[in-house]
Every structure is written in C-alpha cells, then in structure tokens.
Amino acid sequence: MDVKPPERQKERYTYQDYVKWDGRWELINGVPYNMAPTPSLVHQSIVGELYVALRAFFREKGCTVVMAPFDVRLDEQADYEQAKHVVQPDISVICDQSKMGSRGCDGPPDLVVEVLSPSTALKDRNEKYMLYEQFGVKEYWIVDPLHRTVEVYGRGEKGYERRSVFGEGDVLVSFLFADLTVSLAGIFQNIEGEG
C-alpha cells in the first residue's frame, strides 16, 4: 500500500486515493488528516460507555450504532467513490439503512459523537463541525473529557444551534430523539486526566 507523504498535503485527494494509504486517515475537503496517535485510554473509555448506552437505546429502533474506525463518506454529488470527505466519527448512529454498505456509510449519519483529544479538538470543533452541519447531520455531540461536558448541537433554520451543554452530574437529553437520555455520571465515572 502507498503511504502518503506529508509534503504532498497541498494536493486534493478523494476516496479512491484514501483507500490506498496505510494507517488511519480522514479527508476533509480533499485534505488528508493523519489519525495518529492512537486515542488515549480516557478517550476510549468514554467512547465505549457512550456506545453501550446508545446501542441499548437504538437496538429496537432499526438504527445502526457504530464506533470508529468506520468510514462515513460525504459528497456534494453523492459520488461516494470520488468523495472528497471521508471521516471516522467516534460514534455514528445511522437510521436510514440504505446508507449502509460494506465500506461504511454513504451520506450523513443521523447522530455523530466526537470525543475531544488534544490532537483532534480543533478539527472536531471546526472542520468537522462545519462538515457535519453542511451535510445535514441532524445532531452532533462534542464530548470534552477534560471539562467533563457534552455539547449538543442540532439542526436549526440556519444551520447548527447549540441546544445545551451537559455536565458530568447531568442527564443528557437528545433533541433529535426525545426519549434518548444518558446519565453522564456513568459516562465520566473513573475517568481521570484529559482525553
């Protein structure tokens, strides 16, 4: 397989290039982002706890809940083989099963969760936020392990609106799925340090 050299990052790439690379990458606007280093234990513990909670909730609702690594391909013309956006959200919830394929999800998930880490926080808050907003991800959760908060964004008339910020003592309430609640005390328990 080809390993893409960093000095070529000024070029624009598509999914066809992406599948040839070693390691874990994401593409946003054709720009490659290396997913190294491996996420921390704190990050993975939070992802695991949220995955268990979301999977239990969505099991009977016909939605698929998946953890990274799992490709979500986004493209303005729905040409997913040439997609210039390929991301691996920490958790994706997909309720439209026609979007699911052997290579991942083609089109926006209904709900995306990103757990911040020092190496990804700016990308999750900026590039990914704008990407998820542009492509119509209905709800976006940004989990901050350092401050033990979850910011919930939902689609409004003019794009994303921050619906609420929940702390570790709160019960998170989804705005997309009215009966989805998550006790954050259980998510953040036994977590020390940053993501």
pLDDT digits (tens, 9 = 90+) for 98-124: 999 888 999 999 999 999 998 889 999
* Segments making up each domain of the chain, as ranges: 42-183
Terminal CA-to-CA distance of the chain, rounded, Å? 31
CATH numeric code, 42-183: 3.90.1570.10
Q: How much of the chain exceeds pLDDT 70, in percent? A: 92
Q: Alpha-carbon distance 12 to 32, whole Å?
A: 8
The amino acid at 188: F
Dump pLDDT digits (tens) for 135-161: 999 999 999 999 999 999 999 888 899
Identify which of 38, 44, 92, 89 has the alpha carbon closest to the alpha carbon of residue 64.
Answer: 92
23: tokens are 């390691």
153 touches 166 (CB < 8 A): no
Dump pLDDT digits (tens) for 14-62: 999 999 998 899 999 999 998 878 888 999 999 999 999 999 999 889 9
- Answer positive or negative: Cα dihedral of 19, 25, 30, 31: negative
150 touches 169 (CB < 8 A): no
